[in-house]
Structure 1
């Protein structure tokens, strides 16, 4: 089979021939039809001290199952997060974090909707965003952010604001249902909001926290780091909470499954529509990474093995 690899930090991505992996106990072997490209993986390629396996969201057909697998059979279509080599013709997926793809949805729909949608849904749940409250979403045009904007509107937010790095993304963000779209460098982010969903981190945490109204809640789910001053929390009785999807998947499988079913229901209704910025062939993985590095994407970037 073909898979994408690199040999040194920041080094070029290239295709190589590799043996088809064997699924271990509790694992599925999936013939990949679509692979989602994520910012955390792109960052690891450029920043990690040692080369990593290029994993991520995959979707495709189960072609083999390891010992003890009970939920899926060969021939069924699944999606989930691959922690090994996912930029490949075949990849291994743990049964516990695999989800079925319903009829009427494509593999591309699945990688654009499920993982990013679960994060967006979970972040809104963590923020306790109540109907009528205002929500600000950073990285609002990203694979997760564009779904968070839609979900905030579906869940009854009184005002939804998108924050982006490039003014050229504003029209796209408004088309998702945002009432307004601001840029990170703006002097003012407008009227204070009840909730901020932050996917950027770093230096952006300070203005994001300042955008909160008194008693506001910021949920951080970025891999970009950053520091919050305790004084900035005390002044307005604000809170910051971290969110990680893997903890929900491992520790609350019931919740994970409920959110997943709700996402597919909203998709079937046409209420939430995942946007795909571009699809790339496996051999063009470097071009897909470049789109993410430039923050040029409007929605999801997908590889098609």
Structure 2
């Protein structure tokens, strides 16, 4: 089978395709013939900035071709999606059954990788901000896979005003089509009237203006892998707070909540309340091009590899 790997850290150019034997599922594992693989900013950062090369894990969707011992709830032929911690950029991927979920008949594999992980992160980050009806919400990286769904969650959740923060003016029309009432650019001196909740998927230097965008008692939810430093004085003068959110912690510590959010996600998708946006479907052998798109932040929605 084919898979994409890298041996040294660097930009997209270090990715290469190789032929390797098909993996075998171990106890509790599923072997999935991948039909779609989601490309995420953390994966792109891992290739460029990681401490050492390793498997390119990520979200996959496809059909189960084999099951290991002690697997319950899944069988050969099932269509599933989930997070793969080994080699996800491959024609066959190993997925632990605890990380897998069924894809409804009405949805495609591309729908699944565009919706599930990004939607769960958007849902969880929004919930972590403790939104109240009538709150104003600002979403950074609003044109990203998670950001597009966070804007829609905020709009559907009763926000009085949804502000989309993006890196370039050419994304404004796109994020307005998702339901954003206002659009601000990262470079703007002011991000407009204060908001009650900021959902931040960027981190780094944007944390400063994100905190300054908060109203008194506001909450900033940080879920990105971008790191960054926050000035405590800026929080003090606003009586504001910062909340960290990680989806893996919910899956690990609150499986009931995770299952509820997942069911809700597919139901909102069925009713067209949540519409995942796919920017590009890129062949597996062109994974470097997919990474270039994500690294340049030029995508409007999800970038998907299609083996």
Match of 1:176 in 2: 178
User: In the aligned structure 1, how far is the partner of 2:231 from the partner of 2:188?
Assistant: 21
Q: CA RMSD in A?
A: 0.7
Name 2:243's counterpart in structure 1.
241
Question: C-alpha displacement at 1:156, in angstroms?
Answer: 1.0
Unaligned runs of 5+ in 1: none
How much does 1:49 deviate? 2.4
Q: Which moved more, 1:114-123 or 1:151-160?
A: 151-160
User: How many matched pairs?
Assistant: 305
Q: 2:145 aligns with which of 143, 146, 149?
A: 143
TM-score (norm 1): 0.99
Q: C-alpha distance in 2, partners of 1:262/1:131?
A: 19
Question: Aligned equivalents of 1:265 and 1:157: distance in 2?
Answer: 20
Match of 1:122 in 2: 124
- 1:195 and 1:66 map into 2 onto residues whose CA distance is 44
Give the aligned partner of residue 53 of structure 1.
55
Counterpart residue number, 2:4: 4
Question: What's the TM-score, normalizing by structure 2?
Answer: 0.98
Q: 1:288 aligns with which of 264, 287, 290?
A: 290
Cα separation, 2, equivalents of 1:130 and 1:18: 52
CA distance, structure 1, for counterparts of residue 219 and residue 277 of structure 2: 27
- Range with bigger deviation, 286-295 or 7-16: 7-16
- Alignment of 1:76 onto 2:78: yes
- Report the counterpart of residue 301 of structure 1 in structure 2: 303
User: How far apart are the structure 2 equivalents of 1:235 and 1:50?
Assistant: 41
Q: Secondary structure at the match of 1:144?
A: helix
* 1:197 maps onto 2:189 in alignment: no
| The one of 57, 77, 87 aligned to 1:85 | 87
Residues 272-297 of structure 1, C-alpha deviation per residue, up to 9 Å, x if partnerless? 10000000001000000000010000
What runs of 5+ residues in structure 2 fail to find an aligned partner? Answer: none
State the Cα deviation string for residues 140-170 of structure 1 (Å, max 9, x = none): 0001000000111111111100000111101
Determine the C-alpha separation between the residues in 2 that align with 1:127 and 1:40: 22
- Alignment partner for residue 160 of structure 1, among 155, 162, 171? 162
